[in-house]
């Protein structure tokens, strides 16, 4: 079975131009079939502040009202996505930028209001594996932003980590899937104040223990939650670490059952 690398890149890496360009070079050089998923939360937050739009994040997840959705759509689906595609084209990696509405690639439903109203946030229903298979077989690398749609004309802000994990799970019948979460740290830390306290691996028991102790950073919780779901669904390898890990030279934490 052929390998498929699904790489999610975080907003903090995207903001560092030198690090990000270095990552894109490594990604373009990555052999075989590959899909890139990107966030961009920090830039969206900065743009919202410039425009006087308030931003609220609860447990690492952004509350998205209509004004924030406009900003996210402009940045995620426009500026960031198209700049990434243009850079990859310059590096010889034929890419196609996608929001969830493009080709019906990522379908979601608006999160129901329970104790918290997250606004225009989408909970994933399915990804269009036929579309992704078609593009990959043609040698095209999809570049997915953190936007889904509900099938009725509404765009929805959807966690990029969740999109990456759901996409990875959906592609397991066709490929040996390797899911890589690249961000500004070298892996999952035992101590968020010590960048050298990297865990070489983490299983579900260790995750639950660290979570209960409040040791894990809030932004790491949804990422790790998605990692364990992906493993359960048949994804072969799941790693969290520095962007260099896709070259097999970077440091990372491997997530295991």
Question: Which of the 8 DSSP states describes residue 90?
Answer: H
Q: How far apart are CA 101 and CA 90, in angstroms?
A: 26
Residues 216, 252: Cα–Cα separation, whole Å: 16
Residue 86 Ramachandran class (φ > 0 left, ψ -120 to 50 alpha, else beta):
alpha
User: What confidence tens digit (pLDDT) does each residue in 208-253 have?
Assistant: 998 898 888 777 888 899 999 999 999 999 999 999 999 988 889 9
**CA pair distance 231, 39, nearest whole angstrom:** 22
Mean pLDDT within 118-127: 95
Query: With 70 as the cut, is the pLDDT of residue 70 above it?
Result: yes
Full domain range(s) for residue 169 = 3-255
| CA atoms of 208 and 168, how far apart (whole Å) | 23
Enumerate the H helices of the chain as residue ranges: 11-15, 17-29, 41-50, 66-72, 81-90, 129-137, 160-170, 204-212, 220-232
Cβ contact 160:180 at 8 Å: no
Quick: pLDDT tens for 140-180: 999 999 999 999 999 999 989 999 999 999 999 999 999 99
pLDDT of 249: 84
Going from the C-alpha of 149 to that of each of 14, 75, 155, 182, 222, the distances in angstroms are 24, 16, 4, 25, 20
Residue 189 has pLDDT above 70, yes or no: yes
154 exposure class (CB count in 10 Å sphere: 0-12, 13-18, 19+): middle
Whether the Cβ atoms of residue 32 and residue 4 lie closer than 8 Å to each other: yes
The per-residue pLDDT for 58 is 81
* Average pLDDT of the chain, as a whole number: 93
Q: What is the pLDDT of residues 2-58, one digit of tens each?
A: 999 999 998 788 888 899 999 999 999 999 999 999 988 788 888 999 999 998 888
Q: What is the mean pLDDT of residues 93-118?
A: 96
Contact 164, 8 (CB under 8 A): yes
The reported pLDDT for the residue numbered 40 is: 83
Most confident of 75-79, 115-119, 195-199: 75-79
- Please give the tally of structural domains in the chain: 1
Is pLDDT above 70 for 60? Answer: no
Report whether 109 contacts 150 (CB < 8 A). Answer: yes
Work out the percent of the chain whose per-residue pLDDT is above 90: 75
Residue 170, pLDDT score = 97
Domain harbouring 76, CATH code? 3.40.1160.10
């Amino acid at each position: 079975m052929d390998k498929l690398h699904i790489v999610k890149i975080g907003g903090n890496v995207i903001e560092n131009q030198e690090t990000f360009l270095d990552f894109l070079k490594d990604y373009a050089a990555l052999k075989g079939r590959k899909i890139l998923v990107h966030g961009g939360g920090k830039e969206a937050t900065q743009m919202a502040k410039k425009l006087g739009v308030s931003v609220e994040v609860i447990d690492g997840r952004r509350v998205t009202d209509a004004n924030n959705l406009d900003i996210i759509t402009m940045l995620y689906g426009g500026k960031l996505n198209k700049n990434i595609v243009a850079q990859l084209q310059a590096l010889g990696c034929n890419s196609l930028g996608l929001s969830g509405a493009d080709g019906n690639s990522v379908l979601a439903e608006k999160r129901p209001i329970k104790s918290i109203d997250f606004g225009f946030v989408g909970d994933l229903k399915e990804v269009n594996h036929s579309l992704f298979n078609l593009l990959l077989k043609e040698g095209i690398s999809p570049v997915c932003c953190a936007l889904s749609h509900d099938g009725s004309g509404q765009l929805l802000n959807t966690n990029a980590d969740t999109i990456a994990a759901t996409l990875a799970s959906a592609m397991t019948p066709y490929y040996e899937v390797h899911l890589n979460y690249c961000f500004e740290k070298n892996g999952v830390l035992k101590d968020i104040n010590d960048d050298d306290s990297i865990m070489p691996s983490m299983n579900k028991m260790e995750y639950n223990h660290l979570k209960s102790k409040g040791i894990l950073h809030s932004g790491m919780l949804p990422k790790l939650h998605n990692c364990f779901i992906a493993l359960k669904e048949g994804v072969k390898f799941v790693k969290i670490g520095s962007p260099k890990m896709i070259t097999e030279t970077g440091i990372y934490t491997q997530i295991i059952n």
